[in-house]
Amino acid sequence: MQVPQIVKTDDGSFTLYNSTLKEHYHSTFGAIQESEHVFIRSGLESIANPGKLLSVLEIGFGTGLNALLSLIWAEQNKQYINYLGVEAFPITPVLAGQLNYPDILEIDSKVFLKMHTSSGVTEKLSEYFQFVVHSNLFADENFPSDRFDVVFFDAFSPDIQPELWTEEVFRKIAVSMKRGGVLTTYSTKGIVKRALKAAGFKIEKLPGPPGKREILRAVLSE
């Protein structure tokens, strides 16, 4: 697989373009803007519980932008978070160091780079944020049961990675979630909605970020 190319999006933040899959990692209308809308405001903020511990699972760790935004949000809201990212094909620390998220978000770049040099061991990146990333295929990952409050589902699109948008995949995730837990994703395709419903989620369409009409939030039935 070729090294992803850095692309500047409309909000000034960078994304990556995978020329093999012919897909960007984030919206070209604004990488930070999209991640804040889909995963922070529609996900974390919907289930916030300051002073308590939230467990977050991200499928498709990618650039690490969602994790970085979660860390910042945790600090701002005094929300304790345990964060697990899963990424089959992690980008290199060298490439991560060229992304401009720390500059735009005004956070120490060393914290961001630590996310890309994870050895599979949980690290405390701040008072409120513990983090680990597993460099595994989804099929090879064994998740604990009844663990996660929030899931960021950020794999490449159903057209590119259809094997990750199935009822079987969402059932595996559902087993790992707490009842009433929230999953957010950018895709609203019919196959995604049907797979989520079949896996026991109640879904709702929410307004999307610039460049996208709608996104999905799915709540695991009680």
The pLDDT tens digits of the residues spanning 73-109 come to 999 999 999 999 999 999 999 999 999 999 999 999 9
In a domain, 181, yes or no: yes
Cβ-contact 116, 21 below 8 angstroms = no
DSSP state of 47: G
The pLDDT tens digits of the residues spanning 193-213 come to 999 999 999 999 999 999 999
In a domain, 140, yes or no: yes
d(CA 160, CA 29): 20
In a domain, 6, yes or no: no
What range defines the domain where residue 197 resides? 32-220
Least confident of 18-22, 181-185, 190-194: 18-22
Identify residue 194 by its one-letter amino acid code: R
3 state SS of 150: strand
pLDDT value at residue 1: 59
pLDDT value at residue 180: 95
d(CA 157, CA 164): 9
In the chain, the number of structural domains is 1
In a domain, 18, yes or no: no
pLDDT value at residue 188: 97
In a domain, 13, yes or no: no
pLDDT value at residue 51: 84
In a domain, 11, yes or no: no
Cβ-contact 81, 70 below 8 angstroms = yes
Q: Tell me the pTM.
A: 0.96
The CATH number that applies at residue 90 is 3.40.50.150
In a domain, 129, yes or no: yes
Cβ-contact 219, 173 below 8 angstroms = no
In a domain, 7, yes or no: no
